[in-house]
Structure 1
Amino acid sequence: MNAATADKLIELRHGARRVLLAPEIGGAIAAFDETRDGRAIDWLRPATLAALAARDPLGMASFPLLPYCNRIRDASFVFDGAPVDLSGDGNAFAHALHGNAWRLPWRAGDVSESRARLHFLHEPSRAAGRHWPFAYEATQDIALDALRLTVTISARNLSDRPMPFGMGHHPYYPRTRNTRIHARVAAMWHSTPDLLPTHAGPHPCVDAMASNEGMSADAFDLDNNFAVWSRSATIAWPDEARSITLEACAPFDHMVVYAPAAHPDLLCVEPVSNVADWLNLDVGRALTGGAVLLPGESVSATFAWTTRVD
């Protein structure tokens, strides 16, 4: 790692456990690891030097999703009777993806040995990444201890009108041939070929994740939202006698699993507050999630990763 890159990272430590934060790369977590009995353990997929040098959030260990999660069809929606066009915000995807906070720099503050607060301020403009027409601010409070890594995301609507809002985090986990996913969900959102949800219903992966053995990360080709989860999911590497459990509180009422067959090195299990395209789906809010923040209104939610080595 070169000096320029290292100077922009924040290191949190608790004993042999370490977290690297990359505030300027979308407020991302770049690594979460520890050394145990002389063995290095990556709990999240670490950012590579190339990803850090390229300032690529998709190459980080995890990054925040604000002010919405997943895709918005054709980068447009109607809110409060007015059309909202996100096609000029610099998003390189066919449908607007994950909001804008992951593609813009955050500012670090209140850093200690094992804690840090990251700040983000969005003021609408015509600049790339700034086309979201509502002003808002957000923070991430990140804390590392002997058992877990905890993240609390808070956001406040700074606009003088109501703002649609969603949030989440996008972690990547090490994926091997023996990786298993354990979770309890009510249904999977089935999707179009370009990954826009159509309906929530049964799928074999729902039963597989709930089984004692869990679901193999290679069992299905997944990039799907899941409805009504227990807000707990465990990613296990039984051949390595270790696991990590993601636990979340409301409004992280939805979960995304990304385990693409075409990229067998990628695995994401994400806590989110809304399903993809929730602003365009003609179903009830209970199924889609998402919120509307009134002027000055705030929202805050916490999730944590608890690690275990047997």
Structure 2
Amino acid sequence: MSGAWPATEPTEVQVAAGDARLAVDLRGGGPRALTVGDWEVLDGYPSGTVPAGRRGGLLLPWPNRIRDGRWSWRGRTLQLDVASPSSPTASHGLLSWQPFAVLEQRDDAVTVGASVEARPGYPFRLAAAVDYALTPDRLTVTVRVRNAGADAAPLGVGVHPYLAVGSTAEGDIADAELSVPARTVLDTEDNLPTGGRTAFDGAVGRIGDRALNHPLTDLARDADGWARTRLRGPAGELELAVDRSWPWLQVYTGDTLPEGQRRRSVAVEPMSCPPNALADGVDVVVLEPGDVWSGTWTLAWTREV
């Protein structure tokens, strides 16, 4: 035998359109960086590093958190790994550090994919693919999930982009203006549902010192069925739009990130279900063997003139 070793260098794939450049991390399959000229549209992270706040992550087979990592399915009690004894939640799915493969690629588009293998806390097998298509003024992302197993599979899906509008120093997002197309917030404590819901005014305006980390639903949709979040700052305006496959948004102003990274961008996270959904059964997607779920979100940018 030769004594060969696997590749250990960071791997990613890049596409471009006009002066827009997208880097997709092949560890987790999410967008690592999106730049338009000198504007960093996503608050990303250096290649090969472990990003704080699950930046850019594909959250599958659940987004957000599951209380104590415990849930049940058709009479079976299941236990997922939890973050730590002091934070006993199962967070953001199973794919964050998993290698993804490039399935298709051209200059301005790429598809990456990976499998979710069955394990004790999630005994289901899924195939996941993410289609990225870039134009000079828009990124379109479609997440596709197929049940690759022999039994019905419950799941949730989320994505975790941090939107940046020219605020680079800690706290600078206070001067940005935000509008979210949501009318209801899920009441939470320690980021988990308490059982209630409250009316929410999505016309936030200037963020100021407002701290947001809210699961939002009851989305107001335009005639085309899409719901649009807008964030405006010194660099310009971003519009993140979601189709009907995403009935939830998590909006987070980064107050608990590591020092130096707090409140410089806003995470706007499309989600198919709320926190603790696998345990509570709220908006859980159930795929029969061979069935497919898909959801599309877009990010468009307009420079400040």
Q: Residue 279 of structure 2 aligns with which residue?
A: 280
Give the TM-score taking structure 1 as reference length.
Answer: 0.82
RMSD of aligned alpha carbons: 2.3
In the TM superposition, what are the counterparts of 1:226-241 in structure 2 within 5 Å?
226-230=216-220, 231-237=227-233, 239-240=234-235
Deviation, structure 1 residue 172: 1.0
Q: Alignment partner of 1:149: what SS?
A: strand
Matched, 1:173 2:171: no
Matched, 1:64 2:62: no
Which whole-Å CA distance do the structure 2 matches of 1:91 and 1:99 have between them? 18
Which residue type is aligned with residue 42 of structure 2? L
- Among all aligned residue pairs of Structure 1 and Structure 2, give the percentage whose two residues are the same amino acid: 23
Q: Residue 41 of structure 2 aligns with which residue?
A: 43
Unaligned stretches of 5+ residues in structure 2: 1-7, 221-226, 257-261
Q: Residue 14 of structure 1 aligns with which residue?
A: 17
Which whole-Å CA distance do the structure 2 matches of 1:90 and 1:261 have between them? 20
Q: Alignment partner of 2:61: what SS?
A: coil
In the TM superposition, what are the counterparts of 1:268-307 in structure 2 within 5 Å?
268-281=267-280, 288-307=282-301
Whichever structure has more helix as a proportion of its residues is 1
Q: Residue 186 of structure 1 aligns with which residue?
A: 183
Query: In the TM superposition, what whole-angstrom CA distance separates every residue of 1:47-103 from its partner, at most 9, and x where no partner exists?
Result: 13xxx333x254675121111111111001011111111127999952011110123
Which whole-Å CA distance do the structure 1 matches of 2:100 and 2:85 have between them? 18
Which whole-Å CA distance do the structure 2 matches of 1:150 and 1:77 have between them? 33
In the TM superposition, what are the counterparts of 1:115-130 in structure 2 within 5 Å?
115-125=109-119
Query: In the TM superposition, what whole-angstrom CA distance separates every residue of 1:165-192 from its partner, at most 9, and x where no partner exists?
Result: 1112101123523122111212111111
Which whole-Å CA distance do the structure 2 matches of 1:171 and 1:257 have between them? 10
CA 1:163/1:92 → structure 2, altered by over 3 Å: closer, same or farther?
farther
Q: Residue 53 of structure 1 aligns with which residue?
A: 48
Q: Residue 214 of structure 2 aligns with which residue?
A: 224
In the TM superposition, what are the counterparts of 1:79-90 in structure 2 within 5 Å?
79-87=73-81
Which whole-Å CA distance do the structure 1 matches of 2:72 and 2:25 have between them? 34
Query: In the TM superposition, what whole-angstrom CA distance separates every residue of 1:201-228 from its partner, at most 9, and x where no partner exists?
Result: 13xxx32x32xxx433344222220011
Of the three residues 277, 296, 308, the one matched with 2:302 is 308
CA 1:88/1:61 → structure 2, altered by over 3 Å: closer, same or farther?
closer
Q: Residue 74 of structure 1 aligns with which residue?
A: 68
Q: Residue 238 of structure 2 aligns with which residue?
A: 244
Which whole-Å CA distance do the structure 1 matches of 2:91 and 2:82 have between them? 13
CA 1:168/1:88 → structure 2, altered by over 3 Å: closer, same or farther?
closer
Which 10-residue stretch deviates more, 173-182 or 68-77?
Answer: 173-182
Which residue type is aligned with residue 135 of structure 1? R
In the TM superposition, what are the counterparts of 1:80-229 in structure 2 within 5 Å?
80-87=74-81, 94-125=88-119, 131-174=121-164, 175=167, 176=172, 177-192=174-189, 194-198=190-194, 199-202=196-199, 206-207=200-201, 209-210=202-203, 214-229=204-219
CA 1:216/1:261 → structure 2, altered by over 3 Å: closer, same or farther?
farther
Kindly indicate whether the alpha-carbon contact (under 8 Å) linking 1:29 and 1:60 is maintained by their aligned counterparts in 2: no
Which residue type is aligned with residue 32 of structure 1? L
Q: Alignment partner of 2:216: what SS?
A: strand
Which whole-Å CA distance do the structure 1 matches of 2:33 and 2:215 have between them? 25
Give the TM-score taking structure 2 as reference length.
Answer: 0.84
Deviation, structure 1 residue 143: 0.5
Kindly indicate whether the alpha-carbon contact (under 8 Å) linking 1:64 and 1:168 is maintained by their aligned counterparts in 2: yes
Whichever structure has more strand as a proportion of its residues is 2
CA 1:125/1:60 → structure 2, altered by over 3 Å: closer, same or farther?
closer
Kindly indicate whether the alpha-carbon contact (under 8 Å) linking 2:54 and 2:160 is maintained by their aligned counterparts in 1: no
Q: Residue 259 of structure 2 aligns with which residue?
A: none
Which whole-Å CA distance do the structure 2 matches of 1:80 and 1:233 have between them? 37
Which 10-residue stretch deviates more, 146-155 or 81-90?
Answer: 81-90
Q: Alignment partner of 2:219: what SS?
A: coil
Q: Alignment partner of 1:120: what SS?
A: strand
Unaligned stretches of 5+ residues in structure 1: none
Q: Alignment partner of 1:276: what SS?
A: coil
Q: Alignment partner of 2:39: what SS?
A: strand
Query: In the TM superposition, what whole-angstrom CA distance separates every residue of 1:227-270 from its partner, at most 9, and x where no partner exists?
Result: 11132101111x44x11101111210101011144532352111
Deviation, structure 1 residue 133: 1.2
Which residue type is aligned with residue 169 of structure 1? V
